[in-house]
Homo-oligomer: A and B are copies of this chain.
Amino acid sequence: MLLGILFIASIAMIKQKKTRVLFFGDSITQAGVGPQGYITKLSDMLKDKNLDAQYELLGAGIGGNKVYDLYLRMDSDVLAKNPDVVVIWVGVNDVWHKASYGTGTDPDKFQRFYEAIIKKLQAKNIKVFLTTPSTIGERTDNSNQQDGDLNRYSGIIRNLASTMNCGLIDLRKDFLEYNLKNNPENKESGILTTDRVHLNEKGNEFVAEKMFNALFSKK
């Protein structure tokens, strides 16, 4: 993610002001600004490393959001905040709502609306990072109901990151690797999540580390 980091660093230097990083997503990101949330932890990490004068972190997560919702609220909730960097984390509800409401997102439209969001952000010279949807169920033997779709939609996101020159934070891959080591009983939840989807404290820590490395560390 060197490109992204240099980019962010250079923004900070030129602008002589804090680089504003906005996290755009669903309920996971909404909880991210809570006391134990991953965005709060990222802020703490920046303080620990004396980087807090350089960065300002903003949460823009709303529970239940799918790619359509992000698209509809991006003017008011993202562009109006003038961010330098936007981290998009969406996809869990696009897949999950198929079974729980019958209103999930078709793969082709997931891609097209996601693309439209990226284009609009890049047109404003905003650096964009994409995140793959982590889990709906932490079993490691590909037997969680939505595993097939999460893998498929993650593939779409990886392609978008590659073809549209975005940063990629591949949480789907990261979570599975972690669980393969730390979930020997093949549990549905309780490793990085409280309820198969939302992050427990370890999960928030884990995500904060992965995000820090992608966004702020100079490796």
Please list the residues of chain A having a beta carbon within 8 angstroms of any beta carbon in chain B. 68-69, 72, 97-106, 109, 112-113, 137, 141-149, 151-152, 155
Assess the B109–A101 pair: CB atoms within 8 A: no
Assess the B109–A69 pair: CB atoms within 8 A: yes
Assess the B143–A142 pair: CB atoms within 8 A: no
Total copies of the chain: 4
Assess the A106–B98 pair: CB atoms within 8 A: no
Assess the A103–B101 pair: CB atoms within 8 A: no
In the complex, A105→B98 CA distance in Å?
10
In the complex, A98→B72 CA distance in Å?
21
Assess the A148–B152 pair: CB atoms within 8 A: no
Q: Which residue of B lies closest to A154 (CB)?
A: B143
Residues of B near A102 (CB, < 8 A) are: 97-99, 102-104
Q: Can you report 14 A-B residue pairs in the complex whose CB atoms are below 8 A from each other?
A: A68-B113, A69-B109, A100-B100, A101-B106, A102-B102, A102-B104, A103-B104, A103-B105, A142-B142, A142-B147, A143-B152, A145-B152, A147-B151, A148-B148
